[in-house]
Structures are given as C-alpha cells and as structure tokens.
Amino acid sequence: MVLICEEKSGKSFYPLLAVMITSGSRLFLTMAEARLKELGSIHAYMDTDSVFVTPEKAQKLAEFFQPLNPYNIEIPLLKPEKKDLWFYGIASKRYALYYYENGKIRFMEDERSYKLHGLGHLTNPFPNSVEDWQAEIWQDILKLHYGQVTERDIEEKYSNFYAISRLTITTYSIQKLNFEFTVNYN
C-alpha cells in the first residue's frame, strides 16, 4: 500500500532555497573534514550545524574559515562552544557530551547533552523514581567505559527491565493497517 500526501505550496514557497541551505551546510562540513585531514586530525562527530574537534584543532579550523565570514563587523564565523567537554560516541546520532573530572561524570546543565536516537521511541523502563532515565542509561554506559562498573553490574541492573515502545492508533484504518503489516511481516 502506498500513502500519498499532497503538499500545497505557500505564498513564500521557494524549494531551491532549502536545497541551497542544505547543500551549503554539507559543503561547509566536507571542507571542515578535508581541512582536519590536512592537519592530521579527524572529527569526533558532525551534525547539521556543528563539528566536534579537539581544542587545538578547533582554533585552526576557525582561522581557516574566517575569510568566508559574510558579516561587516569583526565577529568569529566559528567559535568553540564548551571547554573541557568530552565526547563518547556509539554510532551516528548516538553520543553523549559530558564533563569528566576526578572520576566523576557530569552532563551539561540546562541542556540535554546526550542524544536519544535509538532510545527515544521507548518508554521509561525504570520505576517512576527515575525521571531522566535516558541520562541514567548514558551514565551507566560511561561508567562501564571508565571501569567504574562491570558488565555483570550492568546485566544485574537491567535484567528485569523491558524495552517497550508505545504505538498510538488514532483511527480504525491505522489499526487495521498495522495489524495487516504485523501479520504479513511475521
């Protein structure tokens, strides 16, 4: 079954602008990647509007791109966001940014510094006492990385939890479609 959604263009609709912004961003990040390679380094991760590199390479990268600054006033085109921030990545969109001092792991205050991709569709597996359960999971991953807990500790902690995903059914036709997919898929 194919579902088709017709989109009507608005008053200010200009599809080339969106394509150019996205292409420009990808070109910028590719140039950053190439420059880092010239400097004998690599990036930890890249996203739509950012690249995470070591502090000494960040300054060199900022200097490289400064001539492209379109502003008439003297402001940096690129700037370091955080100091002493660590990165731990598992896969694309699955990473945590954190501070690590004296064996203590701390996430940034007032902003989520870990990504929920791969966890966002799940419901809270912990008892209601753990409100920010994604942070709890990332803390355990990092503690395992730093040898503060063992794999056995993790197995014991999570052995009685279940990964449950919520499915919202708004109409009978959606329910019927989901049921038919499940039956045919299995």
CA 39 vs CA 57, 61, 73, 94, 186: distances in Å: 8, 9, 28, 26, 51
* Same domain, residue pair 112 and 42: no
Question: 85 with 99: CB under 8 angstroms?
Answer: yes
* Same domain, residue pair 127 and 65: no
* Same domain, residue pair 111 and 132: yes
How many domains does one find in the chain?
Answer: 2
6 pLDDT above the threshold of 50: yes
Question: 107 with 114: CB under 8 angstroms?
Answer: yes
Query: In angstroms, rounded to a whole number, what is the distance separating the alpha carbons of residues 54 and 47?
Result: 16
Question: 104 with 82: CB under 8 angstroms?
Answer: no
* pLDDT tens for each residue of 127-176: 777 778 888 899 999 999 999 999 999 999 999 888 888 777 777 776 66
Say what percent of the chain tops pLDDT 90. Answer: 28
Average pLDDT, the chain: 83
Give Cα 161 distance to the centre of its chain: 24
Tell me the angle at which helices 133-145 and 151-158 cross, rounded to the nearest 10 degrees.
Answer: 160
Q: What does the DSSP 8-state code read for residue 67?
A: G
Q: Which of 26, 46, 81 is the last residue of a domain?
A: 81
C-beta contacts of 146-155 below 8 A and 24+ residues apart: 146/100, 146/103, 146/105, 148/103
CA 169 vs CA 89, 123, 177, 184: distances in Å: 34, 16, 10, 19
Asked which of 4-8, 48-52, 145-149 is least confident by mean pLDDT, the reply is: 4-8
Q: What share of the chain is helix, strand, coil (3-state, %, to 5)?
A: 40, 15, 45
Question: 82 with 40: CB under 8 angstroms?
Answer: no
Could you tell me which residue, 38 or 5, shows the higher pLDDT? Answer: 38
Q: Which domain holds residue 69?
A: 17-81
* pLDDT tens for each residue of 158-172: 998 888 887 777 777
Residue 8 lies in a domain: no
Q: How far apart are the first and last CA of the chain?
A: 17
Residue 6 lies in a domain: no
Q: Which of 57, 81, 105 is the last residue of a domain?
A: 81
